[in-house]
Amino acid sequence: MRDRSHVIGIRLLRSIVLSLLAAFAAATMGPAGLAAEKPLPSTRLFQIIMIEGNTTGTMPADGIPKVALDTLAGMKDFLPYKGYRLLDTALIRTAMHARTTLKGPNGRPFDVWISVASGHSEGPDLFFREFEVSESRSLIAPPRPPAGRPEEPEAPTPAPQRNLISTSFGMDVGETLVVGSSRLDGDQTALILLVTALP
């Protein structure tokens, strides 16, 4: 009986160790075998470009970087917009995580969050584990107190931000990509986000 208990104990310990190793591997490996949260060897400069696309007619393209216009022209079969207008740009230097705020139509603020790591040796130079664009919390108004209730209401639970774009992708240094787009009010206009990994 003692020998049997000893064997069961060894098997149980082996099972626990294998489970822990599997959990560790899942936590440290990202999509396509990329190491999770592996910082860049040095800080890298990125340009984030926010553009408004319109389906009804042309718009002034003043200020839009040529590389962004070329990228949009190369995707004309996938983007149903006839005109583009520059809304805002931001330069971000980071080795892993960064956040910035861009101004959309009528100065409407949008938060941009990125998480970038080194790419795989056989893949692109960089891998964006996260690229998220959401409404700024300054746009989310707290609920009004009930009518006829003079006392101060309890602190409200913050409303969740509405994510407009949430994606992951790989890219090479010097490349410009259309990260994603999100419809604005109605179907005629949309926010379009591009990113350039500057050399």
Amino acid at 39: P
For residue range 76-94, list pLDDT tens digits in order.
Answer: 888 888 899 999 999 999 9
Contact partners, residue 134, CB within 8 Å, separation at least 6: 110, 111, 113, 161, 162, 163, 164
Q: Which pTM value belongs to this model? A: 0.68
- In the chain, what is the straight-line distance between the N-terminal and C-terminal CA atoms, in Å? 69
DSSP 79: -
The confidence band for 56, taking pLDDT boundaries of 50, 70 and 90, is confident
Of 26-30, 52-56, 75-79, least confident by mean pLDDT is 26-30
pLDDT digits (tens, 9 = 90+) for 128-186: 999 999 998 764 444 555 555 555 555 555 555 678 999 999 999 999 999 999 998 77
Average pLDDT over residues 40-62: 87
DSSP per residue, 11-39 = HHHHHHHHHHHHHHHHHHB-GGGPBTT--
* Domain coordinates in residue numbering, the chain: 1-33, 37-140+160-197
